[in-house]
Structure 1
Amino acid sequence: MRIEIGHGSGGRLTRELIEKVFLKHFDTPELKPLQDASCISISAESIAITTDSYVIRPRFFPGGNIGKLSICGTVNDLTVSGAIPKYISVGFILEEGLPLEELEKIVESMAETAKRAGVKIVTGDTKVVESGKCDGIYINTTGVGEVVRELSPQNSEPGDVVIVTGYVGDHGTAISLARENFEIETQIKSDCAPLNSLLTPLFELDGLRWMRDPTRGGLATALIEFSESAGVGVKLYEEKIPIREEVKFISEMIGYDPLYLANEGKAVIIVSKKDAERALEILKSHPLGKDAEIIGEVTEDFKGVRLITSIGGERRLELLEEDPLPRIC
């Protein structure tokens, strides 16, 4: 079976799609009444809200799919903002002709990822467009979380330490290989994962300054934006940055820089020098942070981001004019 225009009509086919696909997997009491809005409970004085749209190509890739990605991205955006993720809304734009079996696999992965992250999918919407008007499926999400820690680039001070939670560039490399069919045999998979269980223990550290999930634009872009916002410089050490040899090789072959490739299961963290080792200890105790490393420091000696190369040279990192690999999330 495939998606038909009638699935977006609001009639019988719509009802069947909701009951046989969405409610089958999105099993939360807030969603089941199928009202125009869901009632949720928030006890925090401050909440965080994030929204994002996912248009990745291909829809399925090594390590995940567009559905898993949409939940991970939303959870991670809330977490690095100092919030505990609680609720997610999902909106689907479906193209006529999309296989129903493929849609259900995507929805099932969303439900499994949400359960793993401890968040509830509480409301949603579905629209169907004519064949050729959409690349199979687009997903929009909005996430709500309870703020428990105020994080800001302005909290940083010279001497603070830069930590990355693991290997960078995996997601961008996996998507590139899946999309372009370079016929390269590799075990590289997307790092797509919800990071709240990894990162929330860091909220207890007095010296935690700032966090970001370096998605589009990668590690380099995230730190350049941090530097501009904080008005400080960042010194990175190339030999300390964890990058898989396969990612380095593939990047050199097709002309990419791993520092600018997207990640969907990593975070870059600024923490005081005093708390750096404790932060690293917390991260390494979690499966998603076992490869975490201290990769640099905040400085007042210059503005911007400078990479100290493995041979002792220095390279200034700049914002890219355009994404080298569009449609990666």
Structure 2
Amino acid sequence: MDNKIRLSHGDGGSYTRQLIKNVFLKYFGEPCSGDMADSFVFYTDSGKLAFTTDSFVVKPLFFKGGDIGKLAVCGTINDLAAAGAVPLYLTAGFIIEEGFNIESLCRIAQSMAEVSRDTRARIVAGDTKVVEKGSVDGVFINTSGIGMVSELYNPRRMEPGDDIIVTGGIAEHGTAILIDRYNMNIEAELESDCGPMSSLLSVLNKHLAYIKVMRDPTRGGLATVLNEMALDRGTDIELDEKSIPIKSQVEGINDILGIDPLYLACEGRMVIVVEKGYGDKVLKHIKIFGNCREAAIIGRVASGTHGLVYINTAIGGKRILPMLEGRMLPRIC
């Protein structure tokens, strides 16, 4: 590993994974769960709980479909949802640059309050620090959350034939950030998919029992989160390119820019591994949820044990889909 931090260490790909393993796990110890999931699950006398924390440094602070405040609350809620947990309480810490506009801060706080109210995830504690001008790009936010894990959700080993579902169109958040950040003169009715996914748990209800793994494909996008799942669990994953839901506008913009949308962040999607034979049944219930009408089965767990992800292309070939290497689009969350 390099002896200096690069921007790529924060992009969620292989450099981030190296940083976590070579620095944080080295000194903090391996997680009890045995993998690097976004939430830590533990048991109490009252039941099973999930705990998570995340920091948000998105640029620009306001974008089509949301802002840093909405992103912060949704991001933490979605990390809990990926652990099968309904959010209960959140904390919010702010690092604010001297001279930051208070009206903008009010807009951010309002966005956070609206998501909190809609999901019944109460913001109950927080902290504020103000630093000298130039030390922070406007405002950074850290949120932590705790939630109650559903008794119906029982994560377990992925096996060949298990179906892989993504709950909606991919790369919409990353593409929306790209357009706004660089003031691209593109006429497109495209917004970030940023939104809370916790209500999906109640929609699935008893069908949670068929789900083996859930992850939200944020930094590094769909390709990177699938690689993490394959590596952590020692399985191969096979995808069908034609089955991956992606808006034509998203595909077109990224084609022009030479960016692979499989590596761009989503902030209101979930990747779900479903027990073999139950994929269509679970998919039917997922599509009931408001922003999941484009949900699709995009592949399956393959028989290999190399930790590889490969894709059957639209032209009939196959290609390896590696984890994100280097920088794709920094500061997306």
Q: TM-score, normalised by structure 2?
A: 0.83
Task: State the distance in 1 between where 2:113 and 2:226 align.
Answer: 32
CA contact (8 A) 1:199 1:283 kept: no
For the pair 1:110 / 2:136, whether they are aligned, the reply is no
Structure-to-structure mapping, 1:60-71, within 5 angstroms: 60-71=62-73
**What is the CA-CA distance between 1:74 and the residue it aligns to?**
0.3
2:322 is aligned with 1:321: no
**88-97 or 268-277, larger mean C-alpha shift:** 268-277
3-state SS of paired residue (2:104): helix
Report the Cα distance in structure 1 between the residues aligned to 2:46 and 2:166, rounded to whole angstroms: 29
2:278 alignment partner, one of 266, 275, 278: 275
Residues 80-104 of structure 1: per-residue CA shift (max 9 Å, x gap): 0121111000001111111111000
Deviation at 1:204, TM superposition (A): 2.2
Shift of 1:182: 1.9
- Distance of aligned partners of 1:103 and 1:211 in 2 relative to their CA distance in 1, 3 Å threshold: same
Paired residue type of 1:307: I
CA deviations over 1:51-70 (Å, ceiling 9, x no partner): 00000000000000000000
Tell me which residue corresponds to 1:213. Answer: 216
Answer with 1 or 2: which has the greater Rg: 1
Report the counterpart of residue 132 of structure 1 in structure 2. 134
User: Which residue is equivalent to 2:230?
Assistant: 227
**2:145 alignment partner, one of 143, 146, 150:** 143
RMSD over equivalenced CA pairs, Å: 1.4
The 8 Å contact of residues 217 and 323 in structure 1, kept in 2 or not, is answered as: no
For 1:38, the equivalent position in structure 2 comes to none
1:245-284 deviations in whole A, cap 9, x for unaligned? 1111111111110100000001110001222122111111
Cross-structure match for 1:30: none
Partner SS for 2:146: strand
Match of 2:83 in 1: 81
2:244 maps to amino acid: I
Q: Which position in structure 2 is the counterpart of 1:258?
A: 261
| Cα shift at 1:157 | 1.2
Q: 1-side partners of 2:178 and 2:332: how far apart? A: 9
CA contact (8 A) 1:44 1:146 kept: no
**More off after superposition, 300-309 vs 194-203:** 194-203
Q: Percent identity among equivalent residues?
A: 47
Q: Describe the SS at the equivalent of 1:195.
A: coil
Q: Secondary structure at the match of 1:127?
A: strand
Letter in 2 for 1:314: K
Contiguous gaps of at least 5 residues in structure 1: 1-41
State the partner residue of 2:174.
172
Task: Point out where structure 2 has 5 or more consecutive residues left out of the alignment.
Answer: 1-43
- Give the whole-Å Cα distance in 1 for the aligned partners of 2:314 and 2:117: 42
Structure 2 counterpart of 1:80, which letter? A
The ranges of structure 1 where at least 4 consecutive aligned residues each deviate by more than 6 angstroms after the TM superposition are none
1:58 to 57, 60, 69: 60
| 1:249 pairs with 2:270 | no
Moved more, 274-283 or 93-102: 274-283
Deviations 1:293-325 (A, max 9, x none): 011011114631110001110010011222310
Which residue does the alignment assign to 2:291? 288
Q: Tell me the distance in 1 between the aligned counterparts of 2:83 and 2:150.
A: 9
CA spacing shift, 1:91–1:156, aligned 2, 3 Å: same
Structure 2 Cα separation of the partners of residues 158 and 181 of structure 1: 45
* Matching residue's letter, 1:95: E
Are 2:86 and 2:201, in contact at CA under 8 Å, matched by a contact in 1? Answer: no
Per-residue deviation at 1:43? 7.0
Given residue 313 of structure 1, which amino acid in structure 2 is its aligned partner? G
Equivalent residue for 2:190? 188
> Alpha carbons of 1:43 and 1:284: their partners in 2 closer, same or farther (altered >3 Å)?
farther
Give the secondary structure class of the aligned counterpart of 1:112.
Answer: helix
- Are the equivalent residues in 2 in contact too, given 1:198–1:288 (CA < 8 A)? no
- Please state how far the C-alpha of 1:179 moved relative to its aligned partner: 0.4
CA–CA distance in structure 1, aligned partners of residues 125 and 299 of structure 2: 42
Name the residue aligned to 2:3: none
Q: What CA deviation, in whole Å up to 9, does each residue of 1:145-180 have, x standing for no partner?
A: 11225554x521111000000100000000001001
Mapped partners of 1:188, 1:297: distance in 2: 29
Cα distance in 2 for residues equivalent to 1:188 and 1:310: 24
Give the Cα separation in 2 of the matches to 1:222 and 1:57: 22
